Amino acid sequence: MTGTGRITGELGSRTRSVVYGELSQAEVDAELPLMIRVDQAHLVMLVEQQLVSAEAAGQLLRCMDELAAERFRPLLRRPAPRGLYLMYEGYLIERLGPEIGGVLHSGRSRNDLKATITNLRFREWLLDFGAQAVRLEAVLLSRAREHQLVIMPVYTHFQAAMPVTYGYYLLGVAIALGREIDALRAAGAGLEICPLGAGAVAGTDLPINPARTAELLGFSGTAGHALDAVASRDVPLRLLGAAAGLAIVLSRLATDFQLWSTAEFGFIGFPDRLVGGSSAMPQKRNAFLLEHVKAKPAQALGAWAAAAAAMAVTPFTNSIEVGTEAVASVWQGLRAAEQAVLLSQVLVSGARPDAARMSERASSGFTAATSVANQLVRSGVPFRTAHHMVGDAVRKAVQAGSARLADFGPPGWLDEIGLDGQDLPALVRAQSHGGGPGAFAEPYRQAAAAWTAHRRWHLQSRQSAASAQAGLAHAAGPLLRPGAVDGARGGPGERAGEPA
């Protein structure tokens, strides 16, 4: 069966390739399994609602199983003048006849079908991406705990500022990453609403049961407004925004790592497997993976801008600009964010701090200066006076090529506060107020608890998805057997949820 009844012509091959692309095994593998999952749930519901016979549903389900077993190869040789779904439905009609194959689309449209498949695809992506982001969070926390005593200077305006530890730095990044995972989880909450049942744009007058298909597909709720369900793709846009925010955090980490891995800094090193050489300069060890991480937010943000622009100034209804073009841009950005996470995992775990070099730079960079001023404040000196005294001593010490502040102020000016011989680890331990490195234990405990919650969310989401899959297989199982009874959920002759 070709055409729509109203339209009998079709696109030329070149135009068709522009609109629908070239059908490939990869495209089919990405789309058809989800489409068939939706079809299975839809057929179970149609049988329960007495809208399709169990025999017809069983033949359709068996044909779908055969296709899946062959990885949909019979479809790859078929023309798709009106897209993948109608080509696939046409195959079912050819195989089973219009009386069987033609009932599949009862009570729905390509519009709500596509919106549902889109949510399922993004939901699967979120599970995979969430697993990798939570794994990176664990790597950061593990390295933070391992290196919590490795003294280093923290920088402001690219100048050595105060003494902290490498573990403290990594803990800060882990905390920021944890918030981005929270944002990702919040953005993904909208994927729990099932658009199936919205039809083309205004629901249907057939007595379908959207709550049943939502249950079988593992959604927690149904769309309450059909127009919104097919018109909106704000959830994928928010998902991309959250993923881009996460990639931005990682790009800032990579920026620090790239600077610190230079010979001029020498704070961290990477094993040979994580660096590259030069085609012309044999001495080079380029930490080039960091540059990829730094660049990924540009791709994610550019994709967000492209998707948002495609959605803007479109009518609030089902729209190719929104449902197809904008969503295609979203996928490009999400892939970039995913790559940033995967690269960051190996970079954080592979980076090795040079503790001696970090400590030496913290000392020679006068990072204890603020602590000296604060100790003078404790002895009764006004802070601005103390600030000036220490700054003057630093200036004189630099001019003299020394790092001993005690030698460049009034005689014995530091004797009473006891800082002349105090080492940097002691100063770091003293910085225990306001979230400083001396109070490492509590923020680490909180960050570890956040990681536990993130991992629990991910595992529960995985388990929920697997449970829904099992429930769908259980519901479809009786229909797959020849001679299935109509209205299997409520018994023959009765509509689901109604008395016989």
pLDDT single digits (tens) 155-199: 999 999 999 999 999 999 999 999 999 999 999 999 999 999 999
278 is catalytic: yes
Catalytic-role residue among 17, 220, 278, 364: 278
- Closest among 367, 337, 353, 380 to 437, alpha carbons compared: 367
Catalytic-role residue among 13, 157, 279, 433: 157
Rounded Cα distance between 412 and 406, Å, is 7
Tokens (6 digits) for 119: 């949510």
- Helix runs in 97-233, H state only: 98-101, 110-146, 166-188, 210-216, 226-231
Give the pLDDT confidence score for residue 497 in this predicted structure. Answer: 39
Give the pLDDT confidence score for residue 29 in this predicted structure. Answer: 87
**H-helix or E-strand spanning residue 289:** helix 289-311
pLDDT single digits (tens) 18-43: 666 667 788 888 889 999 999 999 99
Q: Is 337:129 a contact under the CB 8 Å cutoff?
A: yes
pTM (two decimals): 0.90
Q: Within the chain, which residues score under 70 in pLDDT?
A: 1-9, 11, 13, 16-22, 81, 418-422, 483-500
Tokens (6 digits) for 43: 């057929």
